[in-house]
Chain A
């Protein structure tokens, strides 16, 4: 399913100040249905804060966020019912089995026929044999994929993925990318994706936004960004931006 013109995420003039520091400074962007949008930038650029603002975990100083046509400030729970999140930096309780963890979150999202859904997702991420394993006994690659199973439990229309492949070896990372591409193709899921792996971004993202000091400094498809920067790789563009360089608007 190719990205449709319909905007699913609309962010206008988003600003978050912590005292004198603007972690996010007047950011505006949108993401269309079925689009994977890469949110890039060096550490401290404002990626994590932006995602936390998009999830309603942090309240913006100013600006507006609409997701699935709903105002986040007023309809957060309705949005969260149709969205999900996974990050390399959070985890499911390690002392529960995979089945117990996914069952609990399936209930929280009101998923019907949880057993079937859990089975499908474990198959999708190629870990069907871990169902009854205690989460703490899984390898990091398996844990990441179980986290992704949780993120897909409610068949989300919008998915926020914060460095989901950070701890994975290249083989498993590729499997995860393929699974994400497949879901995007078949279900038209909109994804906001952060990663420091620029090769992965080139392979996966339809469009990228570069953030620096909380501001958008470049936006476009990976190809457009490369052309504008007259560069061979996003990694070089990343380094240029991180070191204070500019690329053409």
Chain B
């Protein structure tokens, strides 16, 4: 199994080596985001909101973990559709779970690289130290990674079912979740009805925990329990949804159509 997962992972890493636009996804766009939000934070600091740098940059870097993780799954499989390689993968003796696992591992690699680059740049440009989060850093990172996997799997299932028409979800889904994940502002800012929805997302607990940790200087580990529990639920639902959708796709013959269009 690991040989096949490694082969698929290698295929995507070759792609990053060969394709400048794909490499830019890991480095260029996150760095551009960091620059914009970094300068916005400095401005807030000057007008009397000194914690803005911490909260905005922390939110930005952690949001990127979720975004890269989700995109690794969706973009990797969509790439196979774009280059008409999907059938080659699906007629190889590979389990669908192995394909998903390879893309999840790719998400891990992308998120680590992106976070490392952003963390270093944020330190040198804005004196923001990601390590201030202390022991909470890794579980927060893991929680957002897992949520990215769950959202990525669900999005990919819809794309395999509905084809090119659903591709906008690759970029659209994260931005649908961003406002209700309390990434750049506290949960309390949201209207009460939206807070209820927001509390159903693991990402909300991570961003709330991150702000609490940065504010108090003590790791807010309590936020991790609901985050991890919700992640388990989301991953189980996403896995079941993906499996169900793949059955439908095989039933209706969409795979061949999508791959040979």
* Chain A residues near B (Cβ < 8 Å): 16, 18, 23, 48-49, 52, 55-59, 77-78, 80-81, 83-85, 87, 89-97, 100, 103-105, 107-110, 134, 150
Contact = CB atoms under 8 A, between A and B. Distances in A.
15 contacts: A16-B253, A23-B253, A49-B253, A57-B91, A57-B253, A57-B255, A58-B250, A59-B251, A90-B87, A91-B84, A93-B15, A93-B80, A104-B10, A104-B11, A108-B92
Interface residues of B, number: 35
Contacts of A18: 252-253
Given A96-B14, A107-B10, A108-B93, 5 more contacts: A57-B253, A90-B84, A94-B83, A107-B7, A108-B92
A38 B156 CA distance: 36
Given A108-B8, A134-B18, A80 B88 contact: no
B259 interface: yes
B108 to A, nearest CB: 19
A110 to B, nearest CB: 6
B81 to A, nearest CB: 11
Interface in B149-202: none
B229 interface: no
Contacts of B247: 59
Given A104-B7, A134-B18, A52 B256 contact: yes
Contact of B85 (A23, A58, A91, A100): A91
B19 interface: yes
Interface string B127-139: 0000000000000
Contact of B253 (A58, A81, A92): A58
Provide the main secondary structure of the chain A interface.
mixed
Contact of A95 (B4, B7, B19, B93): B19
Contacts of B80: 93
B125 interface: no
B258 to A, nearest CB: 10
B32 interface: no
A109 B92 CA distance: 7
Contacts of A48: 256, 260
B250 to A, nearest CB: 5
Interface string B1-37: 0011011101100110011000000000000000000
A238 B92 CA distance: 33
Contact of B15 (A55, A95, A109): A95
Contacts of A55: 91
A73 to B, nearest CB: 11
A171 B17 CA distance: 35
B233 interface: no
A107 B14 contact: no
A83 to B, nearest CB: 8
A247 B228 CA distance: 67
Contacts of B89: 108
B7 A89 contact: no
Nearest to A81: B93
A230 to B, nearest CB: 36
A108 B94 CA distance: 7
A87 B247 CA distance: 24
A108 B252 contact: no
A58 B251 CA distance: 6
A80 B93 contact: yes
Contacts of B3: 107, 110
A110 B93 CA distance: 9
B11 A109 contact: no
B90 interface: yes
A80 B15 contact: no
Interface string B79-108: 110011111111111110000000000000
A87 B260 contact: yes
A109 B91 contact: no
A90 B15 contact: no
A87 B87 contact: yes
Nearest to B89: A108
Contact of A105 (B90, B92, B250, B255): B92
Q: Which 8 pairs between the two chains have the least Cβ-Cβ distance?
A: A107-B7, A58-B253, A81-B93, A80-B93, A52-B256, A104-B11, A108-B92, A91-B84
Interface string B31-64: 0000000000000000000000000000000000
Nearest to A80: B93
B88 A105 contact: yes
Contact of A85 (B7, B85, B86, B87): B87
For A49, A95, A104, which residue has the most chain B Cβ atoms within 10 angstroms?
A104
A18 B251 CA distance: 9
Contacts of B83: 91-95
